[in-house]
Amino acid sequence: MAAPKKGRNAGAQSKPWRSLALILIAIVGLTAGMFASGQTTPRLGIDLAGGTSITLRAEPEAGQESAINKTNMDTAVSIMERRVNGLGVSEAEVQTQGDRNIIVNIPKGTNSKQAREQVGTTAKLYFRPVIAREAGGAAPTPEASSSPSAGSGKAEDTKEKDGKKDESSSPSPSATSQGRAVTDGLKADASPSPKASESKGSGDGDGGGKGDASDPQNSKLQAEYAALDCTKPDQRTTAGKGAKPDEATVACGQDSQGQWQKYLLGPAEVDGTDVDDAQAVYDTQAGTGWKVTLGFTDKGSKKFASITGKLAQQQSPQNEFAIVLDGNVVSNPYVTQSLSSNAEISGNFTQESAKNLANVLSYGALPLTFKEDSVTTVTAALGGEQLRAGLIAGAIGLALVVAYLLIYYRGLSFIAIASLLVSAALTYLIMSLLGPAIGFALNLPAVCGAIVAIGITADSFIVYFERVRDEIREGRSLRPSVERAWPRARRTILVSDFVSFLAAAVLFAVTVGKVQGFAFTLGLTTLLDVVVVFLFTKPLLTLMARRKFFASGHKWSGLDPKALGAKPPLRRTRRPAGPVETKEA
Amino acid sequence: MSKLGTLGARLHHGEVGYDFVKNRKIWYGISILITITAIVGLAVRGLHMGIEFQGGAVFSTPKNMSVSVAQAEEYAEEASGHDAIVQKLGDGSLRIQVAGIDTKASDTIKEQLSEDLKVESEQINAELVGPSWGEQIANKAWQGLGIFLVLVVIYLAIAFEWRMAFAAFVALIHDITITVGVYALVGFEVTPGTVIGLLTILGYSLYDTVVVFDSLKEQTKDITKQTRWTYSEIANRSINSTLVRSINTTVVALLPVAGLLFIGGGVLGAGMLNDISLSLFVGLAAGAYSSIFIATPLVADLKERDPAMKALKKRVLAKRAQGKSAPEPEPVGSGGLGGGTQDAAPAVVGPRNQPASRSRGRGRPSGKRR
């Protein structure tokens, strides 16, 4: 037998066992992982398995009844959709119902508590300058009257408070800001005085001038601030409720010791729409745990630079700005210089809470506040009978494929069928593992897509088998044929799979929702196709070519030279272009 | 060996062959006809968008219904004339969604449903629901599609050449149009499943075309270094040499989908499977067909206009004329191979202006290779 070691392929070909072992190890490893994760079947989408249905009702804010309109509801739907289905693979569905309800359906097995938090959080994010700040209780000095107003960017009134300046160095526990948005230049304020003095003009920033509009409002706000007791939960939830972004407001927040502080805040200078991207990262350097980093849009960077520039010239605490999320101060870092780049929110985050926050910030704020109306389970949209019918039909179709391959390829079909099985096993295992990992859920279209993928996977080795047979027809014996056919088949497989992969990559990057989920499945099956052909079909065929059954061209091997119509010697070259082996992948 | 096996052998040796390129006009004609039918069907019947795209009405029944989901679905479809999605909620009540319903129609359906389900109509709560596949998702999908098509054309133009990129694009449009047209004609509702099906077709159509083109590219690599065959002839042979692969792949891809469509959808009556498997079945068939009958002949057509290929054709024809006495080693698909050439035969202004005849022209002995 001619040695199969021919030129460039020798390396890959000579160790077919190695690739087979690799595939085997991969399957075993994935199986072990699957059992370890406790999820032994792929998660099914709502259409196949049912799930949980959450009904959310839009709650009007006082005097803003008209905010509940179609536009805002649609915006809320698309934001929620992206929050629960960021990667497009979780098969969650979001739609409006009636005038003011939104239904969120999530497939069985999803962490429904997390999903409820994700859709329920309004995520209105504002960066507001701090005018005054003090420990949580009701104000001891009711006469405090810092005015949040600012004519045109000038700090005007100066107000002294209980705390009094002299204690500025007091290491009061409430002093450490619980979280800080820090960038390079932004330093942790270890012990800011818990006092508030002059209010600062919020300046020319957009909307900044509004605060001064009405004096009565200011004094009302002062009174509100004075009366506010952040240690009381009910006051916390109502504090600053309904505040417009361009008006000064009051808010509560916890410091790093868990102490409640209350804040008097200026108009928002930067808001959530200026945030381009938010990510949860683990701070490995400081070892302080999870935090959320924010990247601004171009416009946002400018605004942020301008506010930080102004703040940097102020005294504490007016050099601080508060990051206000849904009315709560989550962080109040101080500023020493103008910043333009990124900000970060640190605090007592767990991995999950940091990720949730980053997620909701990335996809923007809901234009409305929602209240959970009901949470209930729903059955599969596609009846069990339909699924069963589909499975039976699919099984019959697959049996026909096997029968066809058997008739046409005979012995060779065992390699084909084994390849399909390996491919199916890998797909199943990976999909099962992706359920817990990224919330991947399989719906009916995806199942159908996987069935089409059978065709594409089969195509790869059909291309290869036909090449091998062509070589045999040229009069070569099996082993050289197997090796000579490979480079050409390999190129065809790679070129065509690249197109599929391109489709998957582009669609995954650009689209949202189900199309993105489809792109994911397509990309996965395409990659698996390449893996299986390279690491399984080819090595297996190389090994089989050594067996007498195949090598001798047994009648039932599917490689019988006579049946294939091989011309004995290489009589002539039919291809005009000095053919075959010059192919490169 | 099966017949196909021997067919493969005969194709390989050029004993048989079908002249795809010569008869291209017939296939173009057929395709144009089908495409026009599809477009007309689309224009006349339009697409019925499902509840996921256009919203509709949702009916909630009281708790603890005894009716089964399937039964309720039947009632709802009867009452509304549209596809209905029925889900059972945790408390035993039913949620019935029907597409394309306005407030007025929903009242009638409500009455009908209350009768069928034997509950008071006041107990059925009807509300309008918005689309779960909203405009934004659709817009993003279009955007993604656009970017992908631009990239794939660029990729094909680089990996192959612009003519192939163009032909692949035409074949793709052809497949998608036919699929959408058939869908409109059959009148199934368009669901997200349909859209996913269409995207799958899009991927498959390109995939299949690329496999065929890869063989074409390989075979025409050094085409100008020989004078035995014209581009069209080689293109034709390339189709024939991948024909067995094309048939096998198509059969393997279509069998499971056919199972879903005819057995699952037809015999067992699995409603929602129908729309997905129909779009897949039509699309896969069209995709396989267009790679062979449309895309490759189109490339040959375009390529023959290339000056280099024109010159080659001249040389080939001249050579054939010259070596008329030599015995001919039948080229593949000899049945009509000359045909493609003859169309343009008058253009031959070669060294010897003899009428080109298909059965002559063996290149080898007559020297003058370039």
Closest-CA distance, B49 to chain A, in angstroms, reads: 16
User: Using the beta-carbon criterion (under 8 Å), do B132 and A407 form an inter-chain contact?
Assistant: no
User: Using the beta-carbon criterion (under 8 Å), do B206 and A499 form an inter-chain contact?
Assistant: yes
Q: Is the Cβ of B258 closer than 8 Å to some Cβ of chain A?
A: yes
For residue B159, give the nearest of A255, A497, A348, A455 by alpha carbon: A497
Chain B residue numbers touching A95 (CB-CB < 8 A): 55, 129-132
pLDDT for A345 = 74
> Which of the four pLDDT bands, split at 50, 70 and 90, describes residue B169?
very high
| Residues facing residue B56 across a β-bridge | B99, B129
Nearest to A381 among B87, B199, B256 (CB): B87
What CA–CA distance (Å, rounded) separates A415 from A538? 9
Residues B275 and B193: beta-carbon distance below 8 Å: yes
Where are the strands (E) in chain B, listed by range? 48-49, 56-60, 84-88, 94-99, 125-129, 189-190
Chain B segment 208-237 residues within 8 A of A by beta carbon are: 208, 210-211, 214-215, 218-223, 225-226, 228-229, 234
Nearest to B200 among A101, A400, A452 (CB): A452
Residues B92 and B63: beta-carbon distance below 8 Å: yes
Nearest to B91 among A376, A383, A454 (CB): A376
Chain B residue numbers touching A401 (CB-CB < 8 A): 252, 255-256
Closest-CA distance, A167 to chain B, in angstroms, reads: 55
At A40, is the secondary structure helix, strand, or coil?
coil
Task: Kindly give the residue spans of alpha helices, DSSP state H, lying in A439-477.
Answer: 444-473
**What does A541-565 look like in DSSP terms, one character per residue?**
HHHHTTSHHHHTT-TTTT--HHHHT
What CA–CA distance (Å, rounded) separates B244 from B238? 11
Residues B316 and B236: beta-carbon distance below 8 Å: no
Give A17-24 contacts, CB < 8 A, sequence gap 24+. Answer: A17/A539, A17/A543, A18/A539, A19/A534, A19/A535, A19/A536, A19/A538, A19/A539, A20/A535, A20/A536, A20/A539, A20/A540, A20/A543, A22/A535, A23/A422, A23/A531, A23/A532, A23/A535, A23/A536
What CA–CA distance (Å, rounded) separates B152 from A503? 8
Other Cβ atoms closer than 10 A to A165: 11
Closest-CA distance, A452 to chain B, in angstroms, reads: 6
User: Which positions ≥6 away from B91 have C-beta within 8 Å?
Assistant: A376, B63, B64
Chain A residue numbers touching B157 (CB-CB < 8 A): none
Chain B residue numbers touching A398 (CB-CB < 8 A): 255-256, 259
A289-296 sheet: strands from edge to edge:
A275-283, A289-296, A343-349
Residues A357 and A275: beta-carbon distance below 8 Å: no
Residue in A with minimal Cα distance to B277: A448
Residues B11 and B3: beta-carbon distance below 8 Å: no
Q: Which domains does chain A have, with CATH numbers?
A: 7-44+382-582 (1.20.1640.10), 51-120+373-378 (3.30.70.3400), 125-351 (no CATH)
What CA–CA distance (Å, rounded) separates B192 from A104? 17
Chain A residue numbers touching B192 (CB-CB < 8 A): 445, 514
Q: How far is CA A529 from CA A501, A526, B218, B233, in A?
A: 11, 5, 23, 33
At B332, is the secondary structure helix, strand, or coil?
coil
Chain A residue numbers touching B234 (CB-CB < 8 A): 576
| Residues facing residue A125 across a β-bridge | A325
What CA–CA distance (Å, rounded) separates A557 from A413? 9
**With 70 as the cut, is the pLDDT of residue B62 above it?**
yes
Residues A309 and A375: beta-carbon distance below 8 Å: no
Closest-CA distance, A461 to chain B, in angstroms, reads: 10
pLDDT for A110 = 67
Strand B84-88 relative to strand B94-99: parallel, antiparallel, unpaired?
Answer: antiparallel
Residue in B with minimal Cα distance to A571: B13
User: Using the beta-carbon criterion (under 8 Å), do B234 and A576 form an inter-chain contact?
Assistant: yes
Residue in B with minimal Cα distance to A463: B245
Q: Mind listing the pLDDT tens digit of every residue in chain A (585 residues)?
A: 444 444 444 444 457 788 888 888 888 888 888 888 777 777 787 777 778 888 888 877 666 677 778 788 888 887 887 777 766 667 777 888 877 788 888 887 767 777 777 777 777 778 888 888 887 665 444 443 444 433 333 333 333 333 333 333 333 333 333 334 444 334 334 333 333 333 333 333 333 333 444 456 677 777 778 778 777 777 776 666 666 777 788 888 777 666 788 888 888 888 777 777 778 888 777 666 788 888 888 888 888 888 888 887 777 777 787 878 777 777 777 777 777 667 777 666 777 777 777 777 777 777 777 887 778 777 776 656 666 777 777 788 888 888 888 888 888 888 888 888 888 888 888 888 887 777 788 877 777 777 777 777 888 888 888 888 888 888 788 888 888 888 888 888 898 888 888 888 888 888 777 777 788 888 888 898 899 888 888 888 888 888 877 777 677 677 777 767 666 544 444 444 444 444 343
Helix, strand counts (H, E) of chain B: 14, 6
- A322's tokens: 């508060």
Closest-CA distance, B349 to chain A, in angstroms, reads: 24
- For chain B, percent of residues with pLDDT exceeding 70: 80
What CA–CA distance (Å, rounded) separates A249 from B334? 87
User: Using the beta-carbon criterion (under 8 Å), do B270 and A401 form an inter-chain contact?
Assistant: no
Residue owning tokens 């159908």: A448
Other Cβ atoms closer than 10 A to B359: 12
Chain B segment 89-108 residues within 8 A of A by beta carbon are: 89-91, 95
Burial of residue B235 (number of CB atoms within 10 Å: 0-12, 13-18, 19+): buried
Q: Is the Cβ of B355 closer than 8 Å to some Cβ of chain A?
A: no
What CA–CA distance (Å, rounded) separates A360 from A365? 7
Chain A residue numbers touching B287 (CB-CB < 8 A): none
User: Using the beta-carbon criterion (under 8 Å), do B200 and A522 form an inter-chain contact?
Assistant: yes
For B33, phi and psi rounded to 5 degrees? -60, -50
User: Using the beta-carbon criterion (under 8 Å), do A97 and B128 form an inter-chain contact?
Assistant: yes
Chain B segment 30-49 residues within 8 A of A by beta carbon are: none
- For chain A, percent of residues with pLDDT exceeding 70: 72
Model confidence pLDDT, tens digit, residues B238-263:
888 888 888 888 888 888 888 878 87
> Which of the four pLDDT bands, split at 50, 70 and 90, describes residue B109?
confident
Nearest to B252 among A383, A404, A518 (CB): A404
- Please report how many Cα atoms fall inside a 13 Å half-sphere around the Cα of residue B235, on the Cβ side: 27
Task: Select from B1, B275, B291 the residue whose CB has the most chain A CBs within 10 Å, as the one to mutate to test that interface.
Answer: B1
Planar angle of CA B43, B48, B50, nearest 5 degrees: 155
At A513, is the secondary structure helix, strand, or coil?
coil
At A351, is the secondary structure helix, strand, or coil?
helix
For residue A333, give the nearest of A171, A186, A200, A202 by alpha carbon: A186
What CA–CA distance (Å, rounded) separates B143 from B128? 29
Closest-CA distance, A491 to chain B, in angstroms, reads: 8
Q: Is the Cβ of B183 closer than 8 Å to some Cβ of chain A?
A: no
Closest-CA distance, A105 to chain B, in angstroms, reads: 10
Model confidence pLDDT, tens digit, residues A175-227:
333 334 444 334 334 333 333 333 333 333 333 333 444 456 677 777 778 77
Model confidence pLDDT, tens digit, residues B288-314:
999 888 898 998 888 888 888 888 888
For residue B227, give the nearest of A572, A576, A578, A574 by alpha carbon: A576
pLDDT for B316 = 83
For B111, phi and psi rounded to 5 degrees? -55, -50
Q: Which domains does chain B have, with CATH numbers?
A: 3-48+134-303 (1.20.1640.10), 56-129 (3.30.70.3400), 308-366 (no CATH)
